[in-house]
Structure 1
């Protein structure tokens, strides 16, 4: 009887069996992200890669009693880590320190992301690639350019993970309104740094906040990461909340791949919304499906203030995106 129950509990249909690879699994985001992905029953094969320490993380996480297999990989085995991956999550890179913006990370993280993108293009060109490594506004275009250079770019399978902005918006709104954050659904559009982060408060139940409260709330959502950087006093940036955001988004991608209906998350993707203005990537609500991106949603009705915020975001995004494109041109 026990065997029968166990088999039923842990079996999964072929359509819900997926290999997920984490690139940067030994870091501050990578370790808790790997833990959370081990708890996702759609993940049947969890491959953990890093420059050092990934086999240890793999052994540690593998003791958690869910049915997925786990293995850690060192640099010489990155091909094995990526081969057959359905989803790749990239938290690799250096964390922010006090006084640093996400753009200050660019020079270091751009090279890391470029090299990991090359490995993905070579070993799992059809995988859905979820980029966490900052600055996302520039690193996502880097991955796109690398994939284009190798002739395997699929815009439906490349995502910038902006989910942390959504989680912060839900939490911070609830603190102002005295509500349960679980019930606060806030769409956040634009990009994933500073003023490119635009929470659409007018589309929530809190559109009538007084101006000072609204502006303070928007600023906190845009620069919430600074709170963590300062509180950690030079010892890192948002890792645990980012891991939760990354696990949620990767889980949504898996739900889409499995054919579940109405799986919608904001994400920084190759988008038609503002291409005529020279902005190739933009974050908005995306319906996820078996091919990755199924539908890219428009922004809906915006307040006059939000129209201004989106305009400012677009001006910065043009520069951020171009920075990523130029980096690959100059450093192929």
Structure 2
């Protein structure tokens, strides 16, 4: 039997193959080997000594030892919340099948590339419509030349056809489905117009997933997320499936909050973890700066403008691109970050990220907060935590706006 050692970061045991595959490309080989050797001493050193040894192995100072590993999520915080009960069988590292629906689009292409680079992805499927900017088979062929073990396949569907009739091979056996498919908001379109178009697109994909990969985690990037996720989760619930398999990808709000705080405080954003709760649009985006050790040091009079900066960041990108595009590259980065955390959870290395899911931590049925990913996907929806006076006031604005957007999604699911 292969030797297993304890990773002090999460207390779980791994073989060298699993351990090295996880850290490949994130740290130099010698650093990974050094950390592996330190893991062997778990029975003869105290936790503090092991933490120090780990930091020395990475060539870091001891001070940031509590920071997330290689940008993987927001640490290992636990809490009470909604969960799925006992965990299932742990899946092996480096052996996952992932599909990107809308994989030939502006977000889809870089997202597909980042997932193809993930050492835990064995098979990557790139699906899109025949009207995509490039054929998905071309994206797959391009990614197939990367120096990675992942096998990449492209799948195309003609406009007007149904995913459930075309995606059996593409989706069967998938562990994670990322969905950046959908139409961007065009001039003259209302939010309701956008919702109707994109909800129908998402519904087709979700119905196909329910049939061919019901155990997969579905990461939805389809806008408006605040309404789309409740609609799709309720449809899953109607089919007798777990609504917590439907996850709204709000990671970009966290990424932006971390980055902007780092710029203000002249700190590395890798060591900043600002929880962003509520929803994924405008005033529903609430960064909890008070809950991060760096961000809480920002002067109070700067917080309102910083809060607004995070809310309006998407519009800033659209303006910077002169209306010729939106946040595609940063969204792909954020989606891949969530994807890596999901896969790490599936193989038993629990990860925590903010995500928009079915929730009972507030009086709203859907809410973005810290979510723990485990062997079956979402294992815990974590509580919001303590809010300061500014955040408490903003929370009321969040709930007022989010309530109506959730109701739009619930009404769609009833029809």
TM-score, normalised on structure 2? Answer: 0.73
The question of 1:240 aligning with 2:240 is answered no
Q: Secondary structure at the match of 1:26?
A: coil
Report deviation, 1:104: 5.9
Kindly name which structure, 1 or 2, has the bigger radius of gyration based on alpha carbons.
Answer: 2
The question of 1:54 aligning with 2:136 is answered yes
Shift in CA distance, 103/297, structure 1 to aligned 2, threshold 3 Å: farther
Structure-2 separation of matches of 1:251 and 1:29: 17
Q: Secondary structure at the match of 1:129?
A: strand
Report deviation, 1:180: 1.8
The question of 1:188 aligning with 2:273 is answered no
1:3 is matched with which residue? Answer: none
Shift in CA distance, 63/103, structure 1 to aligned 2, threshold 3 Å: farther
Structure-2 separation of matches of 1:184 and 1:14: 30
Q: Deviations over 1:43-75 (max 9, x none)?
A: 101011001221111111111111111100012
* 1:258-277 equivalences in 2 (<5 Å): 258-261=347-350, 263-274=351-362, 277=363
Structure-1 separation of matches of 2:143 and 2:404: 40
1:319 is matched with which residue? Answer: 404
Structure-1 separation of matches of 2:397 and 2:185: 24
Kept after mapping to 1: 8 A contact 2:103/2:127: yes
Report deviation, 1:149: 3.0
Q: Secondary structure at the match of 2:405?
A: helix
Report deviation, 1:111: 1.2
Could you tell which deviates more after superposition, 207-216 or 184-193? 207-216
Shift in CA distance, 30/186, structure 1 to aligned 2, threshold 3 Å: same
Unaligned residue ranges in structure 1 (runs of 5+): 1-5
Kept after mapping to 2: 8 A contact 1:170/1:185: yes
* 1:127-276 equivalences in 2 (<5 Å): 127-152=216-241, 154-204=242-292, 205-261=294-350, 263-274=351-362
* 1:8-157 equivalences in 2 (<5 Å): 15-16=92-93, 17-52=95-130, 53-75=135-157, 77-96=166-185, 105-152=194-241, 154-157=242-245
Structure-1 separation of matches of 2:300 and 2:186: 31
Kept after mapping to 2: 8 A contact 1:156/1:291: no
Shift in CA distance, 316/10, structure 1 to aligned 2, threshold 3 Å: closer
Structure-2 separation of matches of 1:10 and 1:228: 35
Q: Secondary structure at the match of 1:15?
A: coil
Report deviation, 1:208: 4.7
Q: Deviations over 1:135-165 (max 9, x none)?
A: 111111121122123222x133221110000
Shift in CA distance, 91/291, structure 1 to aligned 2, threshold 3 Å: same
Shift in CA distance, 229/22, structure 1 to aligned 2, threshold 3 Å: same
How well do the aligned residues superpose, as a CA RMSD in angstroms? 2.3
Kept after mapping to 2: 8 A contact 1:285/1:296: yes
Structure-2 separation of matches of 1:180 and 1:14: 33
Structure-1 separation of matches of 2:326 and 2:106: 9
Q: Secondary structure at the match of 2:154?
A: strand
Runs of 4+ in 1 over 4 A off after TM superposition: 8-14, 97-104
Report deviation, 1:77: 3.5
Structure-2 separation of matches of 1:99 and 1:208: 42
TM-score, normalised on structure 1? Answer: 0.90
Structure-1 separation of matches of 2:309 and 2:355: 20
Structure-1 separation of matches of 2:20 and 2:166: 33
Shift in CA distance, 165/102, structure 1 to aligned 2, threshold 3 Å: farther
Could you tell which deviates more after superposition, 226-235 or 202-211? 202-211
